[in-house]
Each structure stands twice: as C-alpha cells, then as structure tokens.
C-alpha cells in the first residue's frame, strides 16, 4: 500500500532534520574524533542519533529541549525508566563507600541468588560487563565441557558483537544466505575471518525438521545451540513453544548444550521467557535489565558445567566483572520488578499491541504489532502478512521507507521508539502514557495512509 496521505518520507524526514538539528550538529562534531559521532552505531535514528540532556521516569529531554515519551528505553534495558529512586539510592550509597576495588563486594552474591531463584535452570552464575562478553564465555564453557568446537545459532539471533555471533543476524538476499531450510552463515560486518564463518552452523527459525537435519549432520562437532526465544536486534520473531521444546529434546539427544539468551527476554516474565515456556536450557545469558542501566552481562546454568571454572580450568575474568555499581543497581531493579510489576507492565504492552493491531486491521492499514511481554515489534508490511514466523519473512515483507516514515513522525510528535520497529515499555508508564502512544501511532498511520 502506498502512503498517499499528508505525511510522506520526505516531509517526515525534513521535519525530523529541523526538530533535531542540534543533535545533527553534535553528531558531526563527535565525528571529528569518533567514527560516526558516537560509539554505538545502533543509536542512529535515521540520519543520526538524538542526543539527550536528561531522563526522568518515562520521559527524556533532548538537547533541543523536546520532551519525548521513551519507548526505546536503551534498547529495552531500562525497565524502570530513568532515575528510579530505588536505583539512585543504591548507586548513591556506593558512591559514598567507593566502587572500584581489587576486592569483591557482596552485591554480586545477592544478585546471583535472585537470578537463581527466579530462573531455576540457573544454579551457578558469573557476571561480566556486557552480554556480548557473557555470550563469548558461554561459548567457551560449552566448548570446554563438550570437547567440541562448532556453535550453532539461529538466523535473526543476536548475541552481541563477537565474531562468531555477527553472522546471519540479518540474512539479506544480497548476501546470498542460501535457501530458507538450509541457511549459510553470512557476515553482518566486515572483518570476520573465514575460519570463524566455517565454525558456525546456522539454523532456520521455527522449522524443527530442518534444524534436526542440520544438527544431526554436525552433532559430533557442535558444542552448543544459542538462541533467543524472542529475537530483538534481528526483529521481533517469537519462537513457538513446541518448536523450542523440540530443540530442547533434540539437543539433549545429540549431546549439544542449549543456551538461551535472555538478555532482552528476561523482561517477558519473572522467570524469563524460559519460565513462560517451561523449558530448561543448560546455560542462560543475561544482560541489560539485570544491571539497572549500568553495564553488565552474566552467564549462568547447570552447576556441573561450571565445575571446570571452579577448578580454574576455564578462564573468566575482567577488570570490571561483577562491578558493584551494576550489581547494586540490578538488585534494586529486580526488587521493584516483582510478579505484580511484571503483570502490570505486560498488561500495558498487551493493550498497545491488541488495540493498535485490531484498529489497523479494521482500517485495512498494513500495520502489524506482535510479541510477548513488554518488548514488542511493529512493522509496516507490503500488505501480504499479519504475522511473521522468521526474520526472512520480515526482510521480504516489511516496507522500509514506510518504517522510516513512521519512526521519524513518531519522534516528531513526541514519542521515541526504536528505529528498528520495536518498543520497550517502562514500569513508570501510566495509563495516560499508553493512551498517548496509541493515539499518536493512530494519527501518524492515518496521516500516512489516508489523503
């Protein structure tokens, strides 16, 4: 469906350029020293990132002085929004006492215990500074324990910036990713050595028959399968419960470890997405929300898989691993996110998803919204689909210029979504904030699709 309304890509982009012009200038200034202007490429929102001055609760204030309702929340990390009093108190207390020592502090014990209590498959856990690092650790633990070298990942799965994982995140056609049922590892960045590509087995989402065939053929060499049960960076694709159970049975049978990456999906429920599905992986990755906005990552799992680490045979260390600021902020965050808080935020997200989905279908607008928990995906499609089962469906059917128009115009009208077609809610959002999102999305879509 063409956009034939008063909002077009040109009008939305030109409004964005003038509304966020100071951000554009800052990105150019930063670019004199930092390639692209800032250290995280993924912050780019169209031509450049939106620079921020401060955040409070569900809102942030940009350098231009605009107040934006934050549905980005640092790529889903900030489940408590900005400056939650409990997190600030935990950080302030450490600022007084000191927070960088060549000695452990006790906060990491408490955070470890909380995660083990919430996620029963996790009996032991080690912290790092990012989920990227923890994914690398998981790979090492899997290789050390199985004596096998290959790892298997899904198309559309993101597990941080490690070489082994920056493959087939976006299997764009121009990269020649092979047929859907038998994908080939394709790099999503320059600089990945050939031997790394050859050591990664790529699996198709929600296609158990093909996964079984591929894994059986490489079972003797494959140490682990790593997977997000609902993807994030690769676009929101929910792996179906039966499919996930099937992968669990298959990996057990083939003596391959199953690693579930809950970096984003711990948002979905008190025990993560594995709790919702009732599946027990061998290893689990955590990140984002467990640090309350301070850098963190963790890998946890079955106690026996950590025995080699206990015996000093698997190296795991980093200057800031288990950092007290991150673990203290994480404790405060998990304390606030009790079962009731999960219930509330998930209900708010479901209201957005269901209201907008039904409304758009009624209007015959090609807008869909989907996902589980408080991190949701939306897409403007070519009109042929109301659901996606794989990232390939998404790449084929989403209409990128429409997606850009929508994202620019939401920002122009005071809402900050993720540029890649996703939103993440925060606990301080009120019913009025939810209504604001729904109303703004409806007015943008109406202005895009009706004359």
Ligand X SMILES: Cc1ncc(COP(=O)(O)O)c(C=O)c1O
Which residues have C-beta within 8 Å of that of residue 296, sequence separation ≥ 6? 127, 128, 129, 130, 286, 287, 288, 290, 323, 326, 327, 330
Site string for ligand X, 173-212 (x = CB under 6 A): ----------------------------------------
- Residue nearer to ligand X on the CB measure, 164 or 228: 228
- Using the contact rule CB under 6 A, the part of the chain among 124-132, 186-194, 346-354, 402-410 near ligand X is 124-132
- Smallest separation (angstroms) from ligand X to the CB of 295: 7
Asked if 296 and 130 touch (Cβ cutoff 8 Å), the reply is yes
Asked if 57 and 81 touch (Cβ cutoff 8 Å), the reply is yes
Could you tell me which of 358, 293, 386 has the C-alpha nearest to residue 332? 293
Subset of 22-61 contacting ligand X (CB under 6 A): none
DSSP letter for 312, please. T
CB atoms within 10 A of CB 391: 24
292 is an interface residue for ligand X by CB under 6 A: no
Question: How much of the chain is helix, strand and coil, in % rounded to 5?
Answer: 45, 15, 40
158 is an interface residue for ligand X by CB under 6 A: yes
- Smallest separation (angstroms) from ligand X to the CB of 228: 5
Interface with ligand X (CB under 6 A), residue from 132, 137, 205, 333: 132
- Smallest separation (angstroms) from ligand X to the CB of 165: 8
371 is an interface residue for ligand X by CB under 6 A: no
Give, in order, the Cα–Cα distances in Å from 182 to each of 176, 200, 203, 282: 12, 13, 7, 25
Asked if 285 and 299 touch (Cβ cutoff 8 Å), the reply is yes
The rounded distance, in Å, linking the Cα atoms of 141 and 324 is 24
- Residue nearer to ligand X on the CB measure, 228 or 427: 228
Subset of 214-273 contacting ligand X (CB under 6 A): 228, 232-233, 261, 263-264
- Residue nearer to ligand X on the CB measure, 40 or 67: 40
Sheet hosting strand 52-56, strand order edge to edge: 52-56, 59-62, 67-70, 415-416
- Residue nearer to ligand X on the CB measure, 42 or 339: 42
Site string for ligand X, 414-443 (x = CB under 6 A): ------------------------------
Give, in order, the Cα–Cα distances in Å from 224 to each of 8, 154, 230, 430: 46, 12, 18, 42
DSSP structure string for 370-434: E-STTEEEEEEB-SS-S--SSHHHHHHHB-HHHHHHHHHHHHHTTEE-BTTTEEE--TT--HHHH
Number of residues that bind ligand X (CB under 6 A): 16
The rounded distance, in Å, linking the Cα atoms of 355 and 361 is 10
- Smallest separation (angstroms) from ligand X to the CB of 166: 11
Interface with ligand X (CB under 6 A), residue from 62, 73, 130, 390: 130
- Smallest separation (angstroms) from ligand X to the CB of 314: 20
The rounded distance, in Å, linking the Cα atoms of 94 and 98 is 6
- Smallest separation (angstroms) from ligand X to the CB of 414: 25
- Residue nearer to ligand X on the CB measure, 261 or 447: 261
Interface with ligand X (CB under 6 A), residue from 20, 71, 75, 406: 75
- Smallest separation (angstroms) from ligand X to the CB of 389: 19
Could you tell me which of 190, 271, 189 has the C-alpha nearest to residue 229? 271
Interface with ligand X (CB under 6 A), residue from 159, 323, 375, 413: 159
Residues binding ligand X (CB under 6 A): 75, 130-132, 135, 158-160, 228, 232-233, 261, 263-264, 287, 297
């Amino acid at each position: 469906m063409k956009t034939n309304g008063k909002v077009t890509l040109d009008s939305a982009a030109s409004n964005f350029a003038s509304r966020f012009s100071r951000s554009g200038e800052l990105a150019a200034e930063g670019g004199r020293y930092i390639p692209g202007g800032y250290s995280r490429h993924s912050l780019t929102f169209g031509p450049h990132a939106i620079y921020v001055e401060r955040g409070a609760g569900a809102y942030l204030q940009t350098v231009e002085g605009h107040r934006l309702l934050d549905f980005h929340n640092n790529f889903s990390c900030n489940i408590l929004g900005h400056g939650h009093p409990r997190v600030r108190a935990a950080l302030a207390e450490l600022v007084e006492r000191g927070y960088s020592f060549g000695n452990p502090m006790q906060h990491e014990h408490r955070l470890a215990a909380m995660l083990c209590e919430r996620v029963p498959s996790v009996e032991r856990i080690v912290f790092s500074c990012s989920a990227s690092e923890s994914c690398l650790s998981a790979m090492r633990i899997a290789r050390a324990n199985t004596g096998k070298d290959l790892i298997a990942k899904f198309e559309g799965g993101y597990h941080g910036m490690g070489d082994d994982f920056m493959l087939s995140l976006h299997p764009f056609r121009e990269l020649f990713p092979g047929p859907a049922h038998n994908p080939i590892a394709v790099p999503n960045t320059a600089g990945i050595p050939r031997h790394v590509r050859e050591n990664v087995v790529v699996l198709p989402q929600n296609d158990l028959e093909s996964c079984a065939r591929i894994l059986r053929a490489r079972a003797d060499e494959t140490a682990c399968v790593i997977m997000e049960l609902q993807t994030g960076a690769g676009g929101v694709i929910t792996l179906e419960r039966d499919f996930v159970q099937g992968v669990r049975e298959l990996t057990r049978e083939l003596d391959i470890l199953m690693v579930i990456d809950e970096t984003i999906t711990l948002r979905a429920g008190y025990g993560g997405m594995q709790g919702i599905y009732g599946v027990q992986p061998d290893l689990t990755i955590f990140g984002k929300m467990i640090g309350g906005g301070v850098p963190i990552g963790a890998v946890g799992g079955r106690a026996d898989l950590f025995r080699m680490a206990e015996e000093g045979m698997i190296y795991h260390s980093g200057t800031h691993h288990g950092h007290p600021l991150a673990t203290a902020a994480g404790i405060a965050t998990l304390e606030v996110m009790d079962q009731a808080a999960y219930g509330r935020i998930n209900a708010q997200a479901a209201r957005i998803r269901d209201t907008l989905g039904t409304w758009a279908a009624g209007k015959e607008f090609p807008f869909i919204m989907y996902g589980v928990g408080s991190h949701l995906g939306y897409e403007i499609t070519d009109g042929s689909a109301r659901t996606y089962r794989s990232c390939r469906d998404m790449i084929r059917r989403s209409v990128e210029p429409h997606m850009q128009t929508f994202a620019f115009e939401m920002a122009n009208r005071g809402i900050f979504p993720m540029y890649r077609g996703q939103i993440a809610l925060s606990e301080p959002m009120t019913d009025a904030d939810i209504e604001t999102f729904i109303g703004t999305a409806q007015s943008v879509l109406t202005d895009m699709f009706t004359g």
